[in-house]
Structures are given as structure tokens and as C-alpha cells.
Structure 1
């Protein structure tokens, strides 16, 4: 979960799917829905990943609200998750993740900020969910 489900949380959703079996439900959302960000598509494509036709959505738009774990990537999302789960048995973890939209300069500078977020999320997800065995890794 992040602020607008445009950058950090959709990246995390796609990356988490690489580590989890298809039977595990993974979804991302934002405190509010933003606009799809083309830089996310660009940096995911570098890893042969994509969002498909997925569009940003808010927490209120999720079809399922039964989660074992909610990972928040921004302070705003963390406060919202804690408020939503006050009476639920769900773990909420906060992974502070920079907002790449604050990057300035040319296209390469901006892409570098998005790559940094992608790589940080990939490392954190691998650490939290565990690396796939070579036998399970896609060819």
C-alpha cells in the first residue's frame, strides 16, 4: 500500500508475485487512486515484467480485505493501514520507500530514481519472502 497506487505499490505487487506461489493472493492499493505512471512500466520492462492492463486503485476498491500481511511504503499509507486494521488480526509492516517523482533532471536521472525504488523493493521482498530455489525459478 502506498499513497496513490501509481508507483511503489504496483511495483511491489508485481515483484512479490515473482516470489510467491500463484495460489497466494497479492494485491496493491493506495490511500487514493492516482494515475498510471509510464516510468513504472519502463523500469519493470527492464526486468521483463509488466503491469498488464492494471490501473491504480484505492484501498476502498479492493475486492478482498482479508490479508495476513499489509506492507506500507509511505507514511500516509502506514497510518491508513493501522487505522483500517485496528480490530483485525493482520500484520502491518512499514518499509519506508522513497518517492521517485521528486527526482529532477533529465529522463535518465528520473529513470535512475525509479530503478532505485524497484531495486530496493526487490531486495526487501527477497529478504522478507525468501529467494526462490533454482528449481522453482522461471527459465
Structure 2
């Protein structure tokens, strides 16, 4: 199974989701993240996950075409106030609207987003 987490910048929410899913889901589940307008991974996203012993410092922001979105079994979009990237085709989709913590620039917002995403991953039925 391949799960793809998507947001616009692939700098915070989808990066945290990728790291959390890698840590929480079975090792045979392939995990990726991407964005429609990727920028660099936000250092506060790295810090928020480091606080719970998950290292995403080696992850990088990727455009959709770099992760073969057509091969995903499940696409999870994490946009709240912006338009999420869309991948055409028949694929299972989930939408988890999480406010972009990068807009605030404070670690508390990243912790809130991290905890929301972690709770949703914990309830995923694969």
C-alpha cells in the first residue's frame, strides 16, 4: 500500500504527516508527501517532530510529479484555508483540514498541527 500526503507547500503539514506515518504505520506501507507549490521543509516542523523523537531532518519538499501520485492507493489532503492539490483518477481519498502552522510562525501552532495529524493517523484503517 502507498499513502501520499498532499498540501500546497509540502513544508509543514504533509511533511509532518509523512514522518508520523513512517513512525506509526507498518513498515510495509509506503509513505510519501508532496505539494503543488513546494518550498523547503519548515524548521519548526522538524522541531515539532523532534520533540516526540521523530527525525524528519532528512526529508525534502517535493512536487507531485516526483512522487508518482498515480501509483498511490490512498491520497490524504491536509489543506484547510487554501486549495489542495488534486490528483485525477480513481483512488481512495481522505481530506484532513489542518490549519497551516507556517502562517503563525510559532512552535505552538506546529505542535497543534502535529497532534491533530498524529490522532488522525492513529485512527487510519488500512
Q: Larger Rg: 1 or 2?
A: 1
Offset of residue 129 of structure 1 = 3.9
Root-mean-square deviation over aligned CA pairs: 1.7
Offset of residue 39 of structure 1 = 0.4
Alignment of 1:54-65 (within 5 A): 54-63=59-68, 65=70
What is the match of residue 116 of structure 2? 120
Task: Return the structure number with greater helix share.
Answer: 1
- SS of 2:123's partner is helix
Offset of residue 102 of structure 1 = 2.4
Task: Return the structure number with greater strand share.
Answer: 2
What is the match of residue 34 of structure 1? 39
Structure 2-normalised TM-score? 0.85
Unmatched tracts of structure 1, length 5 or more: 105-109, 131-139
Query: Does structure 1 retain, via aligned residues, the 8 Å contact 2:15–2:41?
Result: no
Offset of residue 41 of structure 1 = 1.0
The answer to whether 1:111 aligns with 2:94 is: no
Offset of residue 64 of structure 1 = 5.8
Unmatched tracts of structure 2, length 5 or more: 1-5
Query: Does structure 2 retain, via aligned residues, the 8 Å contact 1:19–1:129?
Result: no
